[in-house]
Chains A and B, each alone.
Chain A
Amino acid sequence: MTTFELVTLDETAARPQALGGRRVLRRLRRNPLALAGLIVVVVAVILAIFANQIAPFAPDHTNFSAALTPPSAKHWFGTDELGRDQLSRVLFGLRVSLSVAALSVALSLVVGVPLGLAAGFYGFLDPLVSRVADTLLAFPFLILAVGLAAILGPSLGTATIAIGVGNVPAIIRITRSEALRLRGLDFVAAAVADGASDFVVLRRHILPNAVNTLIVQATVAAPAAIIGEAVLSFLGLGIRPPNPSLGVMLASAQPLFRDGPWLAVLPGICIVIVTLGLNLLGDGLRDALDPRESPR
């Protein structure tokens, strides 16, 4: 039996519908929570960058006569047992948190993306890369951090590397599965048939389509990095006192809990706000990048 199919005019070799940038921005703008998150993040970044100018006191300026005072007009966040202004320390601590977040995410992307692409695209590399990723995964983040701190000595750099490396397996996994998925699609076959080299195919076809998922992963990794840095400093594995870091502040606040609760409460609230902002922004981005129509 012969088919009598109609030829519709827009039968294209399905290129996955990546959303246009304008559409994404429009969707983002319409999401009040995401906007709130964006504002919080922007404010935090500004505060961190201009901490020197904004902070009323130097973060390590001690003043024993004003030790352990609760929040007041002079010291908005109160002072600790050495009389140091908590607000200033929080601002500088914010700088530390945000830089660790940014650098660690960058590190994990720089290491993870090429590995993941290679694993997904070249079948023979897959088992090797996957085993490496699994090995890395077998060490819970803290164990990894503890080990690195023991070898390299606790510092900001150690914390950054530990967090970044800890995130690498997830990036590898995501990039690899995207590469696998996209490799089988028609438009890639078309590009290869046109004589494009592997590198070009990866760069121009596969990578842009994986970007969306990577963005989403980055927005999940950033707040986790901030919390991770706080945890590491809290345990003494990251930045060491007297340098201010939100985690360090919380660690020193623990023994003074009953006498100065504000020492623990306020830096923690700051962590929560910034992380919440990043999470909201991340959620908003994720929804905006989702190619599905959202019914109203």
Chain B
Amino acid sequence: MTAGNGVPEQSARDWTVESVPSVESVPSVERAASSLSGRETLLSVRDLSVRFRTEDGPVLAVDAVSFDVGQREVLALVGESGCGKSVTAMALTRLLPSNANISGAVKLGSRSLLDLSEPDLRDVRGKDIAYVFQEPMTSLNPVLTVGRQIGEVLRRHQQMRGAAVIRRATELLDLVGIPLPDRRVREYPHQLSGGMRQRVMIAMAVACRPKLLVADEPTTALDVTVQAGILDVLRDLRAEIGTAVLLITHDLGVVADLADRVVVMYAGRTIEEAGTDVLFARHSHPYTRGLLEAVPNPQRRADGGLREIPGRVPTMRNSPAACTFAARCEFADELCSRERPALLPGPAGHPVRCFHPLPATIEVVK
């Protein structure tokens, strides 16, 4: 069986469970060493699943997802809308609505987060793991001043009081690059522009020097020119405070700019995991290639415009015993509809969940 470009493919057989030991069964130290390039693991997620009870029945949003985030590392979680990346991020500290059922293991250092009681988990939120959300317009309380909202985190986790709170809040505003911070600290969210609001969100998040910063589409709602500024802030903070970043995004440009490693998700499952450069140059999953090709490329004008991946991201009810991408994949065959592929090292050396991964020699897509 050959791929569309005439290069002979290795047979599916080579990648089935029996012939290659499953990556998930390799002891964690080894795995950490190979994929985290020497960093210690900060966050370890194993078989995380999230099910929602809805009016129309149960919905499986996250399907046995596993990944690690190393200290001071920027890990990007990439995928189309609806693939479950945001839900995964929120599930880490059980920030989901009450109709969500979370299973699996999430460990921060040595603590298992999902087993913690709600009060204990509240100690973690904002202090060890902090969030930055997508919509700065609506994510800030319109009737409280900026300083007051930043102050809440300081009061809660560092027991600061009084004038010290305002001072520190002003410092934080300065840290994230807001001009005239002592004036801004007394202003209300609606008096700030979108970019500044997002910086305020970041200031709130790093107020207690968290170990992990979860940024859920931090630049999506902002203008292009403002985006660069936000990314700079994130980069600088990471250097100064040493916080690791879990970056949720569907914008591959942001990924290229900021991320050390990338995990690609589709329909609730992780399907590929690699360092950023490797992912762009030698990706293995057909979906990943589709993602990269869908990016508008001025040099491809001759082909006639935008490439898209036909079809839509499915909503899953249960975890099907099949590859969830099969319906949209040009390489899919009968095996893909029959068995769930496991996450195994692919032709380029990094884990991929596919029976027919792309060969390692593929042209560079920038």
The segment from A2-10, A118-126, A155-163 that touches chain B is A2-10
Which of B55, B291, B294 is in CB contact (< 8 Å) with A294? B55
Bound form: Cα–Cα A161–B229 in Å: 62
**Interface residues on chain B, number (Cβ under 8 Å):** 25
Q: Which A1-52 residues have a C-beta within 8 angstroms of B? A: 1-10, 27
Whether A3 contacts B80 by the Cβ 8 Å rule is no
Whether A1 contacts B54 by the Cβ 8 Å rule is no
Bound form: Cα–Cα A293–B53 in Å: 11
Whether A295 contacts B98 by the Cβ 8 Å rule is yes
State the main secondary structure of chain A at its contact with B. Answer: loop
Q: Chain A residues with Cβ under 8 A from B98's Cβ?
A: 295
Which of A5, A7, A9 is in CB contact (< 8 Å) with B253? A5
Q: Chain B residues with Cβ under 8 A from A1's Cβ?
A: 224, 227-228, 253, 257
Chain B residue at minimal CB-CB distance from A3: B253
Whether B81 contacts A8 by the Cβ 8 Å rule is yes
Whether A5 contacts B250 by the Cβ 8 Å rule is yes
Which of B55, B224, B291, B311 is in CB contact (< 8 Å) with A3? B224
- Indicate if A258 sits at the interface (CB-CB under 8 A): no
Q: Chain A residues with Cβ under 8 A from B117's Cβ?
A: none
Whether A10 contacts B224 by the Cβ 8 Å rule is no
Q: Chain B residues with Cβ under 8 A from A8's Cβ?
A: 80-81, 250
Which of B80, B99, B256 is in CB contact (< 8 Å) with A4? B256
Whether B54 contacts A9 by the Cβ 8 Å rule is no
- Indicate if B251 sits at the interface (CB-CB under 8 A): yes
Whether A3 contacts B306 by the Cβ 8 Å rule is no
Q: Chain B residues with Cβ under 8 A from A294's Cβ?
A: 55
Q: A1-B257, A295-B53, A296-B53 are in contact. Are A6 and B250 (CB under 8 A)?
A: yes
Q: A1-B253, A295-B99 are in contact. Are A6 and B53 (CB under 8 A)?
A: no
Bound form: Cα–Cα A188–B98 in Å: 37
Whether A295 contacts B250 by the Cβ 8 Å rule is no
Binary flags per residue of A193-224, CB closer than 8 Å to B gives 1, else 0:
00000000000000000000000000000000
Bound form: Cα–Cα A27–B256 in Å: 46
Whether A6 contacts B99 by the Cβ 8 Å rule is no
Bound form: Cα–Cα A293–B98 in Å: 13
Whether A4 contacts B251 by the Cβ 8 Å rule is yes
Bound form: Cα–Cα A245–B291 in Å: 71
Chain A proximity of B281: nearest CB distance (Å): 15
Which of B99, B227, B306 is in CB contact (< 8 Å) with A7? B306
Chain B proximity of A98: nearest CB distance (Å): 33
Q: A295-B97, A295-B99 are in contact. Are A4 and B295 (CB under 8 A)?
A: yes
Q: Chain A residues with Cβ under 8 A from B257's Cβ?
A: 1
- Indicate if B252 sits at the interface (CB-CB under 8 A): yes
Which of B99, B295, B308 is in CB contact (< 8 Å) with A5? B295
Q: A1-B228, A3-B224, A6-B80 are in contact. Are A296 and B54 (CB under 8 A)?
A: yes
Chain B proximity of A295: nearest CB distance (Å): 4
Chain B proximity of A183: nearest CB distance (Å): 21
Chain B residue at minimal CB-CB distance from A10: B312
Q: Chain B residues with Cβ under 8 A from A10's Cβ?
A: 312
Q: Chain A residues with Cβ under 8 A from B311's Cβ?
A: 9
Q: Chain B residues with Cβ under 8 A from A2's Cβ?
A: 253
Whether A296 contacts B99 by the Cβ 8 Å rule is yes
Binary flags per residue of A267-296, CB closer than 8 Å to B gives 1, else 0:
000000000000000000000000001111
Q: List 14 A-B contacts (CB under 8 A).
A: A1-B228, A1-B257, A3-B224, A3-B251, A4-B295, A6-B251, A7-B294, A7-B296, A7-B306, A8-B80, A9-B308, A295-B53, A296-B54, A296-B55
A-side residues, CB < 8 A to B, are: 1-10, 27, 293-296
Which 8 A-B pairs have CB atoms at the shortest separation, nearest pair first? A295-B99, A4-B253, A4-B295, A4-B252, A296-B53, A3-B253, A6-B250, A6-B294
List 6 additional contacts besides A4-B253, A5-B253, A5-B296; criterion CB under 8 Å: A1-B227, A1-B253, A5-B250, A5-B252, A6-B295, A295-B97
